[in-house]
Amino acid sequence: MKQTVLIRLPVIYDAGGDLTKKWFVEFYVRNPRTGFMERQRKSKGINKFHKLKDRQAAAEKIRQHWSDKLKAGWTPFTDELIIYDDNLEYQTFIKKYRTSKSKNGTFRYFASQYLDTIQSEVEDSTISTYRSKLRMFDAWLENHQFSGADISVIDQPLIEKFMLFIINDLKRSKSTVDNYRILLDAVFKFVRKKRKLFPNPCIDLPGTKRVNDSAAEPIHEEDISIFKEAISKSDPQLWLAICFEYYCFLRPRKELRLLKISDIDFGRGAIKVRYEIAKTDSRIVNIPLVFLRLIRETYQLHTYPRDYYVSAPLFNDTI
């Protein structure tokens, strides 16, 4: 059954913060006579302020005022023109609106469905990352009074405003901003499969070139020998894990933690990273001779049962 959007909640148009231009609050309400959404603009009480914070506060007050009225069932089509035949017809319209509002799908509803559909295709850690980003957007929608509205109120200007928020307010890096754009685009493409005529609002979105350097400070060369001596003596298992990462570029989360003795070919000097523990796809990693000698002669890994996990003692893994 096709669902009808009855309102689009108010948003503030602030001319990019330019106080020389007119600010206003804009929202849309469906005219029950024509069936079309009609734009409403309200600016009274906003533009008399000439300081940025004062005007922003006034605009937010007006936005909240009209949001509350719309949520309570107010409509501009009940004036002296008597668009409704009588009060009964008006009350019927309000009842239908409230029922429709409660049934229509919110962003949270569709985002949850999207995550469910990709659950079996990606790693749990990836799902967790996606969920975190989608919660951020949903929290932003809630802060702007959109979280309970039908997803159709989310248009390109609204998405653009969110992207500018994570770029300018949260100071996110280019890679993070790109990841938000890609994820939101995927969600709204999923929505289009559910609602054939729904336009994807993720177009012409702003980006950034900002690079946030969050990499750890490298160990100074003169400290490496001290570092090696201290760890190899106090915690040989930790040093073994460090060597697997350094020499073979194994990722610690699963590739190293779930590596088995049977995955190591001691004769050929190679490691098979199985598909189920690899981040992307299975692969063969060559073991440098200096490290191969270490795992054979010092750690003697080839003498352990083949179904043992290499790093089990280190991570206390009993899988």
Does any domain span residue 217?
no
- Nearest CA to 24 among 36, 10, 7, 35? 10
Shared domain check, 94 and 143: no
Same domain, residue pair 56 and 41: yes
pTM check: above 0.85: no
pLDDT at res. 4: 57
* Rounded CA separation 245/241 (Å): 6
Residue at a domain's end among 45, 71, 103: 103
Q: Are residues 38 and 99 in the same domain?
A: yes
Those residues with Cβ within 8 angstroms of residue 13's Cβ, 6 or more apart along the chain or in another chain: 23, 24, 25, 26
Determine, yes or no, domain membership for 167.
yes
Q: Per-residue pLDDT for 228 more than 60?
A: yes
Label the pairing between strands 270-273 and 283-286. Answer: antiparallel
The two structure tokens encoding residue 57: 């506060």
The CA-based angle 10-156-161, given to 5 degrees, is 65
- Is 274 found in the same domain as 201? no
Residue 32's pLDDT is what? 66
14 found inside a domain: yes
Edge-to-edge strands, sheet with 7-13: 7-13, 24-30, 37-42
> pLDDT tens digits for 60-81?
999 998 988 887 667 776 543 3
Residues 115 and 97 in one domain: no
Domain assignment present for 111: yes
Q: Reading across the β-sheet that carries 283-286, which strands appear in turn?
A: 264-265, 270-273, 283-286
- Which is more confident, 316 or 265? 265
CATH of the domain at 139: 1.10.150.130
Residue 123 lies in a domain: yes
Say if residues 50 and 58 touch (Cβ distance below 8 Å). no
- Domain's final residue, options 182, 210, 238: 210
Q: Does 175 lie in the same domain as 233?
A: no
**Is 131 contained in some domain?**
yes
Q: Tell whether 95 and 123 lie within a shared domain.
A: no
191's tokens: 């929505």
Domain residues for the domain of 43 are: 1-103
- Asked if 292 and 306 sit in the same domain, the reply is yes
Q: Are residues 131 and 226 in the same domain?
A: no
Region 78-90: mean pLDDT is 40
Domain assignment present for 216 = no
Check whether residue 147 and residue 87 sit in a common domain.
Answer: no
Last residue of a domain, one of 76, 103, 130: 103
Q: With respect to residue 215, please indicate whether it lies within any of the assigned structural domains.
A: no
Q: Are 226 and 263 in contact (CB under 8 A)?
A: no
Angstrom distance (rounded) from CA 159 to CA 141: 10
Q: Is residue 203 domain-shared with residue 238, that is, in the same domain?
A: no
- 273 and 308 share one domain: yes
pLDDT, tens digit (0-9, with 9 covering 90-100), for 102-152: 445 788 888 988 999 998 888 777 888 899 899 899 888 888 877 677 888
User: Number of structural domains, the chain?
Assistant: 3
Closest residue by Cα to residue 12 from 21, 23, 1, 4:
23
